[in-house]
């Protein structure tokens, strides 16, 4: 039953991909290739980019920025979210700052950051600021979801605080955490590339996108976009695999 | 382990739950607390286990390091298998070899060996409660507290679980405080039955039934006892 369901899902996903490719092809044929390259042109250009000597350096720089923002938001989000879930006062104290971060437009943040940070660091800070609220809120929710009955049971059986944390809190938080990290990774990745486009740090996907746009090389714009999408898809797959391993019991 | 409760007082949200409650739970016996809902039976178990504290009075003979507690709900960790749930409470108490031996032995005794790698959400309500029973017995305790652990189960399942519990207890006798509001359950399980009154709760009457082995549901003495208990509850 499970196998047939996953097979149906896969078929449905592939049908979606084919439909999108068809729409893309029709769109490019209708609007002219120059402004809207075809899928074939994009794939050929992507392959050419992959073969360029500095490709890995460019992607590596952007990936590192994305990863740095992600790790930063994961560590602080887990720590702060756990404390907020345990202590109502801590949650209340953090609420104004969190609302401030959530409500501030990303563009305002980038402009302000230009005063304090260099262009290589700003994408990391931006990625952190868009991802952190998600991780924080989900971990807080996960911590609050811990059934007090489990804690009582463990207390009666003299289970130490460390084991209660490791064997009750962490597994209870895990589904919330993984879901938030997956979304945070996706949004953080987009934010990194968006800020790179604006700030154009050297050797970055954002800089390549902006250069291609200035040269009216739309095939290249499409190719770099496709690369960014493929990388994002890869992260999503990694998280889904992690999810299925770490929360097998669900 | 003999446990004596002396002049226990406990107030909950301004309402007295116990007023000078005193009782004794004999060593290696099953004592049943029989009383109406809301009379503070669970509160008494929580006081004995140290989960809450009394306003005054004292409970003697309790070492909070050595208590097993069978709650109304199984309280299993959903991310741990049957084996892991039982072993979870033993890891810090026993060395690895001994904890594995005990885990295996009690999972077998409750008849769940084939399900040892199952997660709780793949078990029925009765199976989950059997895991909780295995956990309570596997834990090296002197005192076992049981808070209506068979409540809400269908009669067949309940009778199977009571049988499983009594079998385990006869092999591994401990002091048991068993809370229930069902007269027949108390008569089937208890060696001493305490009848508790309404709040502020005190002991209305104490019955000694004797050893479980001698008991047959139709024995005339049991019939008399049943009638007496019914009278206490004005039934």
pLDDT of B181 above 80: yes
Whether A74 is covered by a domain: the verdict is yes
Residue B26: HSE in the Cβ half-sphere, 13 Å Cα cutoff: 16
Q: What is the structure's pLDDT at B136?
A: 92
Whether B199 is covered by a domain: the verdict is yes
Q: Which residue has the higher pLDDT, A77 or A8?
A: A77
Q: Is B139 an interface residue toward A (CB < 8 Å)?
A: yes
Whether A147 is covered by a domain: the verdict is yes
Distance CA A150, CA A171 (A): 12
Within 8 A of B88 by CB-CB distance, chain A residues are 154, 159, 167
Q: What is the structure's pLDDT at A225?
A: 93
ipTM metric: 0.88
Whether A66 is covered by a domain: the verdict is yes
Distance CA A184, CA A67 (A): 11
Radius of gyration of chain A (CA): 22
A1 and A120, same domain (yes or no): no
Q: What is the structure's pLDDT at B39?
A: 85
pTM of the full structure: 0.81
A11 and A58, same domain (yes or no): no
- What's the CATH code of the domain at B142? 3.40.50.300
Q: What is the structure's pLDDT at B12?
A: 85
How many independent structural domains does chain A possess?
2
> Band of the pLDDT at B132, cuts 50, 70, 90?
very high
A210 and A120, same domain (yes or no): yes
A81 and A10, same domain (yes or no): no
- What's the CATH code of the domain at A185? 1.10.3720.10
Q: What is the structure's pLDDT at B216?
A: 59
- The residue in chain B having the minimum alpha-carbon distance to the alpha carbon of residue A157 is B89
Q: CB of B212 within 8 A of CB of B234?
A: no
- The residue in chain A having the minimum alpha-carbon distance to the alpha carbon of residue B140 is A157
Whether B109 is covered by a domain: the verdict is yes
Whether A44 is covered by a domain: the verdict is no
Whether B2 is covered by a domain: the verdict is no
Instruction: Provide the residue range defining the domain that includes B72.
Output: 10-27+42-232
Q: What is the structure's pLDDT at A117?
A: 84
A67 and A168, same domain (yes or no): yes
- The residue in chain B having the minimum alpha-carbon distance to the alpha carbon of residue A248 is B79
How many independent structural domains does chain B possess?
1
For the stretch A208-214, contacts whose Cβ atoms lie closer than 8 Å and that sit 24 or more positions apart, written own/partner, are A208/A58
Whether B78 is covered by a domain: the verdict is yes
Distance CA B233, CA B235 (A): 5
Chain B closest-CA separation from residue A161 CA (Å): 12
Q: What is the structure's pLDDT at A94?
A: 92
Find which of A151, A157, A175 to mutate to test the B interface (most B CBs within 10 Å of its CB): A157
A68 and A132, same domain (yes or no): yes
- Rounded to whole angstroms, what are the CA distances from A38 to A1, A35, A119, A224, A233? 39, 10, 33, 14, 21
A65 and A127, same domain (yes or no): yes
B105-B106-B107-B109 Cα dihedral, nearest 10 degrees: 90
Within 8 A of A250 by CB-CB distance, chain B residues are 121
Within 8 A of A155 by CB-CB distance, chain B residues are 51
A158 and A234, same domain (yes or no): yes
Instruction: Provide the residue range defining the domain that includes A11.
Output: 1-36
> Band of the pLDDT at A128, cuts 50, 70, 90?
very high
A181 and A61, same domain (yes or no): yes
Distance CA B50, CA A158 (A): 11
Are B92 and A160 within 8 A, CB to CB?
Answer: yes
Q: What is the pLDDT of residues A183-192, one digit of tens each?
A: 999 999 999 9
Q: Is B72 an interface residue toward A (CB < 8 Å)?
A: no
Are B80 and A163 within 8 A, CB to CB?
Answer: no
A22 and A58, same domain (yes or no): no
Q: Is B199 an interface residue toward A (CB < 8 Å)?
A: no
A239 and A181, same domain (yes or no): yes
Task: Give the containing element (helix H, strand E) for A37.
Answer: none
Whether A199 is covered by a domain: the verdict is yes
Distance CA B65, CA B56 (A): 22
A32 and A101, same domain (yes or no): no
Are B49 and A247 within 8 A, CB to CB?
Answer: no
């Amino acid at each position: 039953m499970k196998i047939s369901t996953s097979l149906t899902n896969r078929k449905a996903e592939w049908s979606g991909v084919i439909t999108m490719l068809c729409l893309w092809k029709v769109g490019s044929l209708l609007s002219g290739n120059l402004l809207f390259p075809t899928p074939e042109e994009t794939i050929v250009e992507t392959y050419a980019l992959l073969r360029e000597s500095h490709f890995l350096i460019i992607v590596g720089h952007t990936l590192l920025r994305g990863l740095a923002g992600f790790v930063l938001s994961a560590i602080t989000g887990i720590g702060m979210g756990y404390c907020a879930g345990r202590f109502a006062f801590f949650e209340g104290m953090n609420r104004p700052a969190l609302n401030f971060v959530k409500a501030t437009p990303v563009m305002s943040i980038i402009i302000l950051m230009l005063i304090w940070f260099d262009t290589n660091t700003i994408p990391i800070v931006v990625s952190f600021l868009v991802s952190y609220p998600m991780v924080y809120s989900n971990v807080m929710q996960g911590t609050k979801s811990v059934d007090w009955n489990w804690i009582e049971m463990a207390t009666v059986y003299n289970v130490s605080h460390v084991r209660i944390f490791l064997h009750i809190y962490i597994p209870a938080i895990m589904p919330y955490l993984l879901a938030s990290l997956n979304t945070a990774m996706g949004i953080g990745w987009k934010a990194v590339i968006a800020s790179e486009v604006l700030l154009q740090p050297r050797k970055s996907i954002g800089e390549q996108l902006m250069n291609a746009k200035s040269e009216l090389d739309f095939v290249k714009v499409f190719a770099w976009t496709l690369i960014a999408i493929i990388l994002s898809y890869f992260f999503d797959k990694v998280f889904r695999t992690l999810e299925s391993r770490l929360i097998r019991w669900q | 382990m003999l446990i004596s409760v002396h002049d226990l007082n406990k107030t909950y949200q301004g309402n007295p739950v116990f007023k000078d409650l005193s009782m004794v739970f004999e060593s290696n016996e099953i004592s049943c607390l029989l009383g109406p809902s809301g009379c503070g039976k669970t509160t008494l178990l929580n006081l004995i286990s140290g989960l809450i504290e009394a306003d005054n009075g004292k409970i003697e003979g309790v070492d909070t390091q050595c208590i097993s507690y069978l709650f109304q709900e199984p309280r299993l960790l959903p991310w741990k298998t049957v084996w892991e749930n039982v072993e979870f409470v033993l890891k810090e108490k026993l060395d690895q070899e001994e904890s594995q031996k005990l885990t295996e032995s009690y999972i077998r005794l409750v008849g769940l060996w084939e399900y040892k790698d199952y997660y709780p959400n793949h078990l029925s309500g009765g199976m989950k409660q059997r895991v909780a029973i295995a956990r309570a017995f596997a834990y090296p305790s002197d005192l076992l507290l049981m808070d209506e652990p068979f409540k809400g189960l269908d009669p067949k399942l309940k009778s199977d679980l009571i049988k499983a519990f009594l079998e385990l207890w006869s092999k591994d006798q401990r002091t048991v405080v068993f809370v229930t509001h069902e007269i027949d359950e108390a008569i089937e399980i208890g060696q001493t039955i305490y009848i508790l009154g309404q709040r502020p709760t005190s002991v209305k009457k104490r019955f000694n039934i004797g050893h479980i082995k001698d008991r047959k549901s139709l024995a005339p003495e049991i019939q008399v006892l049943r009638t007496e208990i019914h009278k206490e509850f004005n039934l």
